[in-house]
Amino acid sequence: MTSQPSLSLVVPLYNEEENVNPLLKRVGEALEDYSGTIELILVDDGSSDNTVATALSSGSDQNYKVRVLELQRNFGQTAAMQAGIDAAVSELIVTLDGDLQNDPHDIPRMVENLLDRDLDLLVGWREKRKDKLVMRKIPSWVANKLIGKITGVRIHDYGCSLKVYRASVIKQVKLLGEMHRFIPAWVAAVAPSRRIGEIPVTHHARIHGESKYGISRSIRVILDLLSVLFFMKYRARPGHFFGTIGLVLGFFGTVLLVYLGFDKFILGHDIGTRPALLIGVFMIITAFQFLTTGILAELMSRTYYETSNTTHYVVREAHSNQP
Protein backbone atom coordinates (compact mmCIF):
# COMPACT_ATOMS: atom_id res chain seq x y z
CA MET A 1 0.00 0.00 0.00
CA THR A 2 1.38 3.41 -0.98
CA SER A 3 2.03 5.70 1.97
CA GLN A 4 -0.38 8.61 2.19
CA PRO A 5 0.85 12.22 2.51
CA SER A 6 1.96 13.41 5.93
CA LEU A 7 -0.81 15.19 7.79
CA SER A 8 -0.86 18.06 10.29
CA LEU A 9 -4.11 18.73 12.13
CA VAL A 10 -4.41 22.28 13.49
CA VAL A 11 -7.01 22.85 16.21
CA PRO A 12 -7.44 26.28 17.86
CA LEU A 13 -8.74 26.01 21.42
CA TYR A 14 -10.25 28.59 23.74
CA ASN A 15 -11.77 27.37 27.02
CA GLU A 16 -12.47 23.88 25.67
CA GLU A 17 -11.20 21.74 28.57
CA GLU A 18 -14.24 19.44 28.46
CA ASN A 19 -13.81 18.81 24.73
CA VAL A 20 -10.05 18.18 24.52
CA ASN A 21 -9.97 14.57 25.69
CA PRO A 22 -12.92 13.41 23.50
CA LEU A 23 -11.38 15.28 20.56
CA LEU A 24 -8.05 13.47 20.86
CA LYS A 25 -9.80 10.12 21.12
CA ARG A 26 -11.91 10.80 18.03
CA VAL A 27 -8.86 11.88 16.04
CA GLY A 28 -7.07 8.68 17.02
CA GLU A 29 -10.05 6.55 16.01
CA ALA A 30 -10.62 8.43 12.75
CA LEU A 31 -6.99 8.20 11.59
CA GLU A 32 -6.20 4.75 12.96
CA ASP A 33 -5.75 3.31 9.45
CA TYR A 34 -4.05 6.36 7.93
CA SER A 35 -0.67 5.26 6.58
CA GLY A 36 1.03 8.68 6.49
CA THR A 37 2.64 10.38 9.47
CA ILE A 38 0.26 12.37 11.65
CA GLU A 39 0.71 15.26 14.03
CA LEU A 40 -1.99 17.06 15.98
CA ILE A 41 -1.22 20.69 16.81
CA LEU A 42 -3.42 22.09 19.58
CA VAL A 43 -3.17 25.88 19.79
CA ASP A 44 -4.42 27.29 23.07
CA ASP A 45 -5.60 30.84 22.48
CA GLY A 46 -5.14 32.18 26.03
CA SER A 47 -7.73 29.96 27.72
CA SER A 48 -8.70 30.87 31.27
CA ASP A 49 -9.67 27.31 32.23
CA ASN A 50 -7.65 24.08 32.32
CA THR A 51 -7.51 23.55 28.56
CA VAL A 52 -3.69 23.48 28.42
CA ALA A 53 -3.28 21.08 31.35
CA THR A 54 -5.95 18.78 29.94
CA ALA A 55 -4.36 18.88 26.49
CA LEU A 56 -0.91 18.00 27.87
CA SER A 57 -2.31 15.16 29.97
CA SER A 58 -4.49 13.72 27.21
CA GLY A 59 -1.82 14.18 24.56
CA SER A 60 0.70 12.03 26.41
CA ASP A 61 -1.72 9.09 26.24
CA GLN A 62 -2.09 9.08 22.44
CA ASN A 63 -0.18 6.88 19.98
CA TYR A 64 0.31 9.74 17.53
CA LYS A 65 2.28 12.97 17.86
CA VAL A 66 0.52 15.74 19.79
CA ARG A 67 1.97 19.25 20.08
CA VAL A 68 0.51 21.96 22.28
CA LEU A 69 1.19 25.61 21.45
CA GLU A 70 0.23 27.97 24.27
CA LEU A 71 -0.25 31.56 23.12
CA GLN A 72 0.67 34.39 25.49
CA ARG A 73 -2.90 35.71 25.58
CA ASN A 74 -6.16 35.55 23.65
CA PHE A 75 -5.30 36.70 20.12
CA GLY A 76 -8.40 35.33 18.38
CA GLN A 77 -9.16 32.27 16.28
CA THR A 78 -7.43 33.58 13.17
CA ALA A 79 -4.13 34.18 14.98
CA ALA A 80 -4.34 30.77 16.66
CA MET A 81 -4.99 29.11 13.32
CA GLN A 82 -2.07 30.97 11.74
CA ALA A 83 0.23 29.89 14.59
CA GLY A 84 -0.70 26.25 14.01
CA ILE A 85 -0.23 26.52 10.24
CA ASP A 86 3.19 28.14 10.74
CA ALA A 87 4.20 25.30 13.07
CA ALA A 88 2.94 22.50 10.78
CA VAL A 89 5.58 20.48 8.91
CA SER A 90 3.43 18.06 6.89
CA GLU A 91 2.48 17.97 3.21
CA LEU A 92 -1.20 18.46 3.99
CA ILE A 93 -2.73 20.62 6.70
CA VAL A 94 -6.19 20.10 8.17
CA THR A 95 -7.94 22.70 10.30
CA LEU A 96 -10.93 21.99 12.51
CA ASP A 97 -12.65 23.43 15.56
CA GLY A 98 -12.04 22.06 19.02
CA ASP A 99 -15.69 22.04 20.07
CA LEU A 100 -16.45 18.56 18.62
CA GLN A 101 -18.91 19.98 16.09
CA ASN A 102 -16.51 19.02 13.27
CA ASP A 103 -16.14 15.25 12.91
CA PRO A 104 -12.54 13.95 12.53
CA HIS A 105 -13.93 10.85 10.79
CA ASP A 106 -14.49 13.04 7.71
CA ILE A 107 -10.76 13.76 7.39
CA PRO A 108 -9.61 10.57 5.55
CA ARG A 109 -12.42 10.99 3.02
CA MET A 110 -11.55 14.65 2.52
CA VAL A 111 -7.86 13.90 2.03
CA GLU A 112 -8.68 11.26 -0.57
CA ASN A 113 -11.08 13.64 -2.32
CA LEU A 114 -8.50 16.44 -2.41
CA LEU A 115 -5.87 14.16 -3.93
CA ASP A 116 -8.23 12.57 -6.45
CA ARG A 117 -9.46 15.96 -7.67
CA ASP A 118 -5.98 17.50 -7.54
CA LEU A 119 -7.13 20.41 -5.39
CA ASP A 120 -5.18 22.89 -3.29
CA LEU A 121 -8.03 23.44 -0.83
CA LEU A 122 -11.04 21.33 0.06
CA VAL A 123 -13.69 23.03 2.20
CA GLY A 124 -16.18 21.21 4.37
CA TRP A 125 -19.84 21.98 3.73
CA ARG A 126 -22.09 21.63 6.80
CA GLU A 127 -25.06 20.63 4.68
CA LYS A 128 -27.10 19.57 7.73
CA ARG A 129 -25.88 22.13 10.20
CA LYS A 130 -26.76 21.63 13.88
CA ASP A 131 -26.93 25.25 15.02
CA LYS A 132 -29.56 27.78 16.04
CA LEU A 133 -31.52 29.18 13.10
CA VAL A 134 -31.61 32.90 13.94
CA MET A 135 -28.29 33.28 15.74
CA ARG A 136 -26.12 31.13 13.47
CA LYS A 137 -27.74 29.72 10.33
CA ILE A 138 -29.40 32.82 8.85
CA PRO A 139 -26.43 35.20 9.39
CA SER A 140 -24.11 32.53 8.01
CA TRP A 141 -26.29 32.00 4.92
CA VAL A 142 -26.37 35.74 4.21
CA ALA A 143 -22.61 36.04 4.75
CA ASN A 144 -21.86 33.09 2.44
CA LYS A 145 -23.97 34.59 -0.36
CA LEU A 146 -22.38 38.00 0.07
CA ILE A 147 -18.82 36.66 0.23
CA GLY A 148 -19.32 34.48 -2.83
CA LYS A 149 -20.82 37.36 -4.80
CA ILE A 150 -17.98 39.76 -4.02
CA THR A 151 -14.98 37.41 -4.09
CA GLY A 152 -16.12 35.20 -6.99
CA VAL A 153 -15.32 32.00 -5.07
CA ARG A 154 -18.62 30.13 -5.07
CA ILE A 155 -18.90 27.68 -2.20
CA HIS A 156 -21.75 26.97 0.18
CA ASP A 157 -20.01 27.27 3.54
CA TYR A 158 -17.17 29.71 4.10
CA GLY A 159 -17.47 29.42 7.87
CA CYS A 160 -16.79 25.69 8.25
CA SER A 161 -13.41 25.30 9.96
CA LEU A 162 -12.94 21.75 8.66
CA LYS A 163 -10.69 22.26 5.65
CA VAL A 164 -7.81 20.40 4.00
CA TYR A 165 -4.96 22.38 2.39
CA ARG A 166 -1.78 21.67 0.54
CA ALA A 167 0.83 23.13 2.88
CA SER A 168 2.77 24.68 -0.02
CA VAL A 169 -0.28 26.82 -0.85
CA ILE A 170 -1.72 27.80 2.54
CA LYS A 171 1.74 28.81 3.81
CA GLN A 172 1.77 31.51 1.12
CA VAL A 173 -1.27 33.08 2.78
CA LYS A 174 -0.95 35.15 5.95
CA LEU A 175 -4.12 35.41 8.02
CA LEU A 176 -4.70 38.62 9.98
CA GLY A 177 -7.52 40.10 12.01
CA GLU A 178 -10.52 37.77 11.79
CA MET A 179 -9.86 36.60 8.25
CA HIS A 180 -10.15 32.85 8.90
CA ARG A 181 -13.70 32.88 7.51
CA PHE A 182 -12.35 34.22 4.20
CA ILE A 183 -9.63 31.60 3.72
CA PRO A 184 -11.02 30.31 0.38
CA ALA A 185 -10.92 33.87 -0.96
CA TRP A 186 -7.34 34.38 0.23
CA VAL A 187 -6.29 31.05 -1.26
CA ALA A 188 -7.88 32.14 -4.55
CA ALA A 189 -5.31 34.96 -4.59
CA VAL A 190 -2.45 32.44 -4.89
CA ALA A 191 -4.21 29.50 -6.58
CA PRO A 192 -6.83 29.23 -9.37
CA SER A 193 -10.44 28.93 -8.21
CA ARG A 194 -10.78 25.61 -10.04
CA ARG A 195 -8.39 24.10 -7.47
CA ILE A 196 -10.74 25.00 -4.61
CA GLY A 197 -13.50 22.52 -3.91
CA GLU A 198 -16.02 21.54 -1.27
CA ILE A 199 -17.56 18.38 0.07
CA PRO A 200 -20.47 17.73 2.49
CA VAL A 201 -19.30 16.89 6.01
CA THR A 202 -20.91 15.81 9.25
CA HIS A 203 -21.81 18.49 11.75
CA HIS A 204 -22.66 17.84 15.39
CA ALA A 205 -24.44 20.00 17.94
CA ARG A 206 -22.21 21.46 20.64
CA ILE A 207 -22.40 19.41 23.85
CA HIS A 208 -19.84 21.02 26.16
CA GLY A 209 -18.86 24.64 26.62
CA GLU A 210 -20.33 27.76 25.08
CA SER A 211 -20.22 29.08 21.52
CA LYS A 212 -17.77 31.95 20.97
CA TYR A 213 -19.91 33.41 18.18
CA GLY A 214 -22.91 35.71 18.24
CA ILE A 215 -25.08 37.82 15.97
CA SER A 216 -22.61 40.72 16.34
CA ARG A 217 -20.07 38.95 14.16
CA SER A 218 -22.21 39.77 11.10
CA ILE A 219 -21.06 43.39 11.35
CA ARG A 220 -17.42 42.30 11.53
CA VAL A 221 -17.94 40.04 8.52
CA ILE A 222 -19.07 43.01 6.42
CA LEU A 223 -16.09 45.13 7.50
CA ASP A 224 -13.66 42.26 6.89
CA LEU A 225 -15.26 41.62 3.51
CA LEU A 226 -14.42 45.16 2.41
CA SER A 227 -10.79 44.52 3.37
CA VAL A 228 -10.78 41.22 1.45
CA LEU A 229 -12.21 42.93 -1.65
CA PHE A 230 -9.56 45.64 -1.51
CA PHE A 231 -6.59 43.32 -0.99
CA MET A 232 -7.74 40.76 -3.55
CA LYS A 233 -8.32 43.24 -6.38
CA TYR A 234 -6.34 46.37 -5.56
CA ARG A 235 -3.36 45.39 -3.41
CA ALA A 236 -0.89 45.97 -6.26
CA ARG A 237 -2.83 48.91 -7.76
CA PRO A 238 -4.53 50.85 -4.92
CA GLY A 239 -4.57 53.99 -7.07
CA HIS A 240 -7.29 52.40 -9.20
CA PHE A 241 -9.49 51.91 -6.14
CA PHE A 242 -9.18 55.42 -4.74
CA GLY A 243 -8.88 57.02 -8.17
CA THR A 244 -12.13 55.50 -9.40
CA ILE A 245 -14.02 56.89 -6.42
CA GLY A 246 -12.34 60.26 -6.91
CA LEU A 247 -13.18 60.45 -10.60
CA VAL A 248 -16.84 59.53 -10.00
CA LEU A 249 -17.21 62.16 -7.29
CA GLY A 250 -15.35 64.71 -9.43
CA PHE A 251 -17.59 64.02 -12.41
CA PHE A 252 -20.85 64.50 -10.53
CA GLY A 253 -19.45 67.49 -8.65
CA THR A 254 -18.41 69.14 -11.90
CA VAL A 255 -21.78 68.46 -13.54
CA LEU A 256 -23.54 69.94 -10.54
CA LEU A 257 -21.37 73.09 -10.52
CA VAL A 258 -21.70 73.56 -14.29
CA TYR A 259 -25.47 73.37 -13.94
CA LEU A 260 -25.41 75.92 -11.11
CA GLY A 261 -23.12 78.18 -13.16
CA PHE A 262 -25.57 78.05 -16.05
CA ASP A 263 -28.42 78.78 -13.67
CA LYS A 264 -26.55 81.74 -12.20
CA PHE A 265 -24.93 83.44 -15.19
CA ILE A 266 -27.37 82.55 -17.98
CA LEU A 267 -30.71 82.36 -16.24
CA GLY A 268 -29.84 84.91 -13.57
CA HIS A 269 -31.04 82.93 -10.57
CA ASP A 270 -29.54 83.30 -7.12
CA ILE A 271 -27.59 80.16 -6.07
CA GLY A 272 -25.83 81.46 -2.94
CA THR A 273 -28.25 79.83 -0.50
CA ARG A 274 -28.84 76.60 -2.41
CA PRO A 275 -27.55 73.37 -0.77
CA ALA A 276 -26.51 72.07 -4.20
CA LEU A 277 -23.67 74.61 -4.29
CA LEU A 278 -22.19 73.31 -1.04
CA ILE A 279 -22.66 69.70 -2.16
CA GLY A 280 -20.93 70.35 -5.48
CA VAL A 281 -17.95 72.06 -3.86
CA PHE A 282 -17.71 69.31 -1.25
CA MET A 283 -17.72 66.60 -3.96
CA ILE A 284 -14.90 68.34 -5.87
CA ILE A 285 -12.77 68.68 -2.73
CA THR A 286 -13.43 65.06 -1.77
CA ALA A 287 -12.54 63.94 -5.30
CA PHE A 288 -9.13 65.62 -5.03
CA GLN A 289 -8.58 63.95 -1.66
CA PHE A 290 -9.34 60.50 -3.10
CA LEU A 291 -7.09 61.11 -6.11
CA THR A 292 -4.15 62.24 -3.97
CA THR A 293 -4.74 59.34 -1.58
CA GLY A 294 -4.56 56.99 -4.55
CA ILE A 295 -1.22 58.47 -5.61
CA LEU A 296 0.20 58.09 -2.11
CA ALA A 297 -1.13 54.51 -1.91
CA GLU A 298 0.56 53.71 -5.23
CA LEU A 299 3.88 55.05 -3.89
CA MET A 300 3.53 52.97 -0.73
CA SER A 301 2.63 49.86 -2.72
CA ARG A 302 5.61 50.25 -5.06
CA THR A 303 7.94 50.91 -2.14
CA TYR A 304 6.65 47.77 -0.38
CA TYR A 305 7.17 45.48 -3.38
CA GLU A 306 10.58 46.93 -4.24
CA THR A 307 12.02 46.82 -0.72
CA SER A 308 10.55 43.52 0.50
CA ASN A 309 11.43 41.40 -2.57
CA THR A 310 7.76 40.49 -2.73
CA THR A 311 6.01 39.97 -6.06
CA HIS A 312 2.36 40.58 -6.85
CA TYR A 313 2.19 37.28 -8.74
CA VAL A 314 2.71 33.63 -7.79
CA VAL A 315 4.45 31.03 -9.98
CA ARG A 316 2.99 27.60 -9.32
CA GLU A 317 5.44 25.59 -11.46
CA ALA A 318 7.85 26.30 -14.31
CA HIS A 319 7.97 23.99 -17.33
CA SER A 320 10.60 23.64 -20.02
CA ASN A 321 11.07 21.43 -23.10
CA GLN A 322 14.72 20.94 -22.14
CA PRO A 323 16.32 19.87 -18.85
CA 143, CA 145: separation in Å to the nearest integer?
5
Q: What is the pLDDT of residue 184?
A: 87
The pTM (predicted TM-score) of the whole model is: 0.76
Provide the CATH number for the domain formed by 7-131+154-212 in this structure.
3.90.550.10
Q: pLDDT by residue (tens digit) across 193-213?
A: 889 999 999 988 777 656 555
Among residues 39, 56, 42, which one has the least CA distance to residue 12?
A: 42
How far, in whole angstroms, is CA 300 from its chain's centroid?
24
Query: In whole angstroms, what is the distance from residue 36 CA to residue 262 CA?
Result: 78
Q: What integer pLDDT is reported at residue 54 of this predicted model? A: 92
Helix then strand then coil, in percent of the chain rounded to 5, is 50, 10, 40
Mean pLDDT score, 271-294: 93
Q: DSSP secondary structure string, 30-61?
A: HTTT--S-EEEEEEE-S-SSSHHHHHHHHHTT
Which of the four pLDDT bands, split at 50, 70 and 90, describes residue 136? low
pLDDT at residue 154 in the model = 79
* pLDDT digits 0-9 by tens, 36-50: 999 999 999 999 999
Q: What is the mean pLDDT of the chain?
A: 85
More confident residue, 124 or 143: 124
Q: What is the mean pLDDT of residues 95-107?
A: 92
CA distance 240 to 291: 9
Instruction: Quickly count: other Cβ atoms within 10 Å of residue 262's Cβ.
Output: 11
- Worst-scoring range by mean pLDDT, 16-20, 96-100, 204-208, 254-258? 204-208
Residue 167: predicted pLDDT: 95
Half-sphere exposure of 67 (CA within 13 A, CB side): 16
pLDDT score, position 133: 57
Q: Give mean pLDDT, residues 156-184.
A: 86
pLDDT at 302: 82
Confidence class for position 61, pLDDT limits 50, 70, 90: confident
CB–CB of 298/250 below 8 Å?
A: no
Give Rg (Cα) of the chain.
Answer: 25
- Please report how the helices 238-265 and 275-307 are oriented relative to each other, as an axis angle in degrees rounded to 10: 160
